[in-house]
Chains A and B, each alone.
Chain A
Amino acid sequence: MVELNDVSVTYSSGVDALEHVSLKINDGDFAFVVGASGAGKSTLIKLLLKEIEATSGTVTVNGYQLNRLKKKKIPELRRTIGIVFQDFRLISSMTVYENIAFVLRVIDAPKKLIKKRVPYVMGLVGLQDKANSYPHELSGGEMQRVAIARALVNDPQLIIADEPTGNIDPELSYEIVDLLKTINRQGTTILMVTHEHDLVRRFGGRIISITAGQIDFDEIMEGTDI
């Protein structure tokens, strides 16, 4: 669950990136966050990961009160969140399998779990045949599916995707959103940032629009394609 209460973020440069934002996303929800470039979408995500602090207001993520969360507890918070970036951010020297297993290794997960879980999520995103490929041998869509598998492998309560379709051909973008929808149906909360209005119109659902640091629209809309 994600809850923002009258949150403002002012960067040290003086830019007010978010102004008096209140927002609640329940467990199991799927929400699109839309807005023009510079509206404050990435700032919102950084806030949820406690990469930055709210200048005022309170932020709660998966039961953690971020204002009160000690620096030492940040890893614990982040283990409940999966994150997908626009530019994939796969490690180029590692195979697909290694890229996914890496996440479990660095949080000190048992070997047995890694052996079971990694092939399972590779199957979920349809990449079981690419286990030994390197990122540069994959298409953009495939790379993003690896990134989604990586976000999913730790079984997080919440997956945050920051423009996951931004670097992908439009036809493949639908596949990515479809995949996220499938994951959402298994119970994972999903917050997907995008500025592709086509995509949003087609899938529908909850749409949160940010303009100049403020939420100007937060409604559930019917999709054109379900």
Chain B
Amino acid sequence: MKLSGVHYLIEQGIENLWKNRMMSFASFCVLLVSLLLVGTSVLAYQNIASIVGGVESQNEIIIYMIDGTDAESLNQTGNQIRHLPNIADVRFYSKEEEYLALKERMAEYDVLFDALGDDNPLVDSFRVKVQDISQMSRTISQIQELDNILKINAPYEFVSFLTQLRTILTWVMCALIGAMVIVSMVIISNTTRTSVYSRREEIHIMKYVGATDAFIRFPFFIEGMITGFFAGCGALVITWLVYDALVKILENQVTLLNIIGIGSIIHFNAVYLYAAAAYLLGGALIGALGSVFSIRRYINV
């Protein structure tokens, strides 16, 4: 195709956009709302996942060692744990340090500690954080194989609750996003169908005088793409403003932050590039496809 041809088609697309501005505006609104729904859902999901992840990472396995195990064996066990798969962090707590810390924490009960005298009732322990808590029970059974272990404490029930929660959330989110993408495609192609219907004569004439299908589709493609692009811009700005405001409100809720962990809330600054790319590309693509999709009925003459 000649350059003048491409130029003409882009011009046509923009002109049609203006001629059908009511329809274009309707498409714009539909796209804006669906992009916002999908975008906020994804952001909400990301945050919940991040919060669940934060809670997860605070869960540790405590391994109590048999009293009297010598330093070399302790060292060896520590190294063996470190070399197991799915281990994020291993920390050793000697019974002496723990006893001192305990005394300090419970200074008002010093009578009790005096009665114990030098007799340290605690044992040496390891505290282990795992990478993937859904694999925790496997990791625990691997640790159980090691020597000199007295007892293992692990938050089994809480862990399985979190794992289930995450799985359910992921599925709900995927279903929601899928449904919204389909619904918005259908609505957009129905909205553009009205404006395509008003131009069916034009399309028929084009077919009769020998315009190629690509040539007929191109202006519709451009029109849908521009509408979608602007809807993406709108969704981006709205998300940005609303999200930032929400984060500010949340960050003032100190008690809530203590539960979910300060680092768990995702700031828009951290994701704005992805959000912009997803909104603009997603908007342009859904807009263009919805528009082209709606002319297929008239193009087969």
CA distance A75 to B2 in the complex (A): 17
Q: Are A89 and B201 closer than 8 Å at their CB atoms? A: yes
A residues in contact with B215, CB < 8 Å:
106, 108
Task: State whether the Cβ of A25 lies closer than 8 Å to any Cβ in chain B.
Answer: no
CA distance A105 to B6 in the complex (A): 11
Question: Who on chain A is nearest to B19 by CB?
Answer: A93
Q: Are A79 and B5 closer than 8 Å at their CB atoms? A: no
Known: A91-B202, A108-B215. A83 touches B208 (CB 8 A): yes
Q: Are A108 and B301 closer than 8 Å at their CB atoms? A: no
29 contacts between A and B (CB under 8 A): A51-B301, A74-B210, A75-B210, A76-B210, A77-B210, A78-B208, A78-B209, A79-B209, A83-B208, A83-B209, A89-B201, A89-B205, A91-B202, A91-B205, A93-B19, A103-B205, A103-B209, A105-B8, A106-B206, A106-B211, A106-B215, A107-B209, A107-B210, A108-B5, A108-B215, A110-B2, A110-B4, A111-B4, A154-B209
Task: State whether the Cβ of A102 lies closer than 8 Å to any Cβ in chain B.
Answer: yes
Task: State whether the Cβ of A49 lies closer than 8 Å to any Cβ in chain B.
Answer: yes
CA distance A154 to B210 in the complex (A): 10
Does more than half of chain B's interface fall in helix, strand or loop, or is it mixed?
A: helix
CA distance A158 to B207 in the complex (A): 17
B residues in contact with A79, CB < 8 Å:
209-210
Q: Are B2 and A108 closer than 8 Å at their CB atoms? A: yes
B residues in contact with A103, CB < 8 Å:
205, 209
Minimum C-beta distance from A165 to chain B (A): 19
Question: Who on chain A is nearest to B211 by CB?
Answer: A106
Q: How many residues of A contact B (CB 8 A)?
A: 22
CA distance A83 to B206 in the complex (A): 12
B residues in contact with A110, CB < 8 Å:
2, 4
B-to-A contact residues, CB < 8 Å = 1-2, 4-5, 8, 19, 201-202, 204-212, 215-216, 301
Question: Who on chain A is nearest to B215 by CB?
Answer: A106
CA distance A111 to B206 in the complex (A): 18
B residues in contact with A83, CB < 8 Å:
208-209
Chain A, residues 74-103, CB within 8 Å of chain B (1/0): the string is: 111111000100000101010000000011
A residues in contact with B8, CB < 8 Å:
105
Minimum C-beta distance from B90 to chain A (A): 67
CA distance A114 to B248 in the complex (A): 61
Question: Who on chain A is nearest to B205 by CB?
Answer: A89
Q: Are A107 and B301 closer than 8 Å at their CB atoms? A: no
CA distance A83 to B207 in the complex (A): 11
CA distance A53 to B277 in the complex (A): 47
CA distance A93 to B206 in the complex (A): 15
B residues in contact with A154, CB < 8 Å:
209-210
CA distance A71 to B207 in the complex (A): 12
B residues in contact with A89, CB < 8 Å:
201, 204-205
Minimum C-beta distance from B159 to chain A (A): 60
CA distance A49 to B210 in the complex (A): 10
Q: Are B209 and A49 closer than 8 Å at their CB atoms? A: no
Additional 6 contacts, C-beta under 8 A, given A74-B210, A77-B210, A108-B215: A79-B210, A91-B202, A103-B205, A103-B209, A107-B211, A150-B209
CA distance A107 to B212 in the complex (A): 8
Question: Who on chain B is nearest to A99 by CB?
Answer: B205
Chain A, residues 49-86, CB within 8 Å of chain B (1/0): the string is: 10100000000000000000000001111110001000
Chain A, residues 185-214, CB within 8 Å of chain B (1/0): the string is: 000000000000000000000000000000
Nearest 5 A/B pairs, CB to CB: A78-B210, A79-B210, A106-B211, A75-B210, A108-B5
Minimum C-beta distance from B154 to chain A (A): 66
B residues in contact with A74, CB < 8 Å:
210
